[in-house]
Amino acid sequence: VIFWVYPALVFNYSLIGTRVAVWLNITLCLSVWYLAGSWAEWPLWPRIVVTMAATGFFSHIFSSNIDRQKQALVTLATIDPLTGVHNRHELQLELMKACSQQTRLGTPVTLLVLDIDFFKKINDTYGHIKGDEVLVEIAKLMGKRLRTADRLYRYGGEEFLVLAGGTDADGGRILAEDLRTTIQNSRPCELPGITISLGVAQYAPPESVSEWLHRADEALYRAKANGRNRVELASSGSG
């Protein structure tokens, strides 16, 4: 019977997770060692102790490595490697959750779509490395101004998106103005004249996620067409 303990020490990690498996395996080993001490002869008992301890130890190392690899994959799938904010692969699911929350509970949620003004000129003038540094710095500046209920995403290129939970259109416009003035007054990477334009759209049931995004994009385009470095509120939704 004692030989069934060895595969259990290995499979516990895959069945119940690393943290719980550590304590279960320790308890299992101590119990077996105590019981074995009453019947196993002296040359056998220490062998049981050593081999079970080694099996549990190496199983823990293997399971911990698997956990780290899983976390690395999750990070690659959800985090933008340049700026460290969420990427667009995670965005679609979060937008659907936000729509469902407002539809079911009436909790408002607002989308801010923002673009760095004349970003191509920054790349052309200072180089793409400096352009990447600007993206990183702007992401950090915005992250410091956002609340815990807000999520920041890099939507693509120089475009970012903020999902502001529990916020209506007016609150979203206030948040957008705060972000705009923060960037304007902070001189990211010590470069002059860096500004952002923003479009703000509160979700309006029963519109789809794509319709919501489209309204926010339209507001952003209007902000850029009207002179940039400004905030525009989207037109009313279909709801």
Alpha-helical regions (H) of the chain: 5-16, 18-36, 44-78, 88-105, 119-126, 128-145, 169-186, 209-225
Centre a 10 Å sphere on the Cβ of residue 121 and count the other Cβ atoms it contains. 11
Neighbouring C-alpha atoms within 13 Å toward the C-beta of 58: 7
Active-site residue, selected from the candidate residues 158, 159, 190, 207: 158
99 contacts: CB under 8 Å, gap ≥ 6? 109, 203, 205, 209, 212
Q: CA 101, CA 106: separation in Å to the nearest integer? A: 7
- Whether residue 90 lies in the annotated active site: no
102 three-class SS = helix
Tokens 């995004």 sit on residue: 213
- Specify the DSSP class assigned to residue 79: B
CA distances for 113 relative to 194, 204, 217, angstroms: 17, 16, 7
Beta bridge partners of 116: 196
Q: CA 141, CA 194: separation in Å to the nearest integer? A: 13
Active site amino acids: 158
